[in-house]
Structure formats: C-alpha cells, structure tokens
Amino acid sequence: MMQALSIRQPWAWLILFAGKDVENRIWTPPASMIGRRFLIHAAKTCTEDELEVAEDFAGCWVPTLETLDRGGIVGVCRLAGWVRKHADGRRSGRGPGCMRGTSRWFVGPVGFLLDEVEALPFTPLRGNRGFFPVATDVVRRLGVTP
C-alpha cells in the first residue's frame, strides 16, 4: 500500500513547482520509507500569515489561498534520505545524499530529502499525521506506482 505525507500549503506547492527539495520535520522517517515513493497530500489548513512567511522564505511568488489546492493529493515524490542538524553543528542521516543538508530549504532539525517530484491532478482526500496509507483504488486512479 502506498503511503502519503500531509504537508501544509504553500510548502507542498513549493516542493512541486519551486524546487523545494527538503521537507523539514522534528522526527526521522521510518527506515522502511527510505528510497520509496510517497504521495504528497496538501493539508487543508493554511493561513494568510503562513503564505506570507513562505513567500518571504522562498523568495518567489506563491499562489493565493483561493487558488491553492488543499485537502487532497497534489503530487508524488521519493524519499531519498534524511539529515539531522545537531545542536553542536554536526550532521547525521541516512540514505544517499544524507549529508547534503546544505539545501537552502533545510532548516532542521530533521530534513526529508526529496527527489523524483511530480505534480498530480488534485484528488480530495482526508489527511493524517505522519506517513499514512492511501487506499489502492485511489492510487490506481492517480496512475502512480509505489
């Protein structure tokens, strides 16, 4: 069964269309997910303040609240690895490129390293915390392979 990860907008949009190659979290991904593709779920919640912060950080235009897809699957990518920034400046991680951590998108403490990113047609779906399973019929309709 394919997994999905809920990501708040506009960060999901930035992954799909602006080269954001790191998703920052406070937890490390399950080892079983390294090297696997997963669906990008755009969380339903987003505020104008979050849009402004993201636009300032990204240094590029982001869509408005009214035009951003929210509350469903918007893309697919592969979890290439992860990196952790320690308080003393050391880095550790797992997977190819785990010591990359120099991406401008990495702020830590943990960065999921993403590649093979592809936008998909918006498909409404309820999200969840962490990686969560997506029904086989939904994955089939999206036309993606795990």
Which residues, other chains included, contact 70 with Cβ-Cβ below 8 Å and sequence gap of 6+? Answer: 9, 42, 43, 44, 45, 46
pLDDT of residue 39: 98
Torsion of CA 12, 58, 33, 116, to 10 degrees: 80
- Rounded to two decimals, the pTM is 0.92
Which residues, other chains included, contact 132 with Cβ-Cβ below 8 Å and sequence gap of 6+? Answer: 3, 4, 5, 6
Per-residue pLDDT tens listing for the chain (146 residues):
899 999 999 999 999 999 999 999 999 999 999 999 999 999 999 999 999 999 999 999 999 999 999 999 999 999 999 988 767 776 666 766 665 556 889 888 999 999 999 999 999 999 999 999 999 999 999 999 88
Task: Decide if 84 is inside a domain.
Answer: yes
Task: Decide if 50 is inside a domain.
Answer: yes
Task: Decide if 67 is inside a domain.
Answer: yes
Structural domain including 129 reads 3-140
Summarize the chain as % helix, strand, coil (round to 5): 20, 35, 45
- Looking at the 3D structure of the chain, how many domains does it have? 1
Task: Decide if 42 is inside a domain.
Answer: yes
Q: Which residue has the tokens 């390294």?
A: 34
Task: Decide if 101 is inside a domain.
Answer: yes
Task: Decide if 146 is inside a domain.
Answer: no
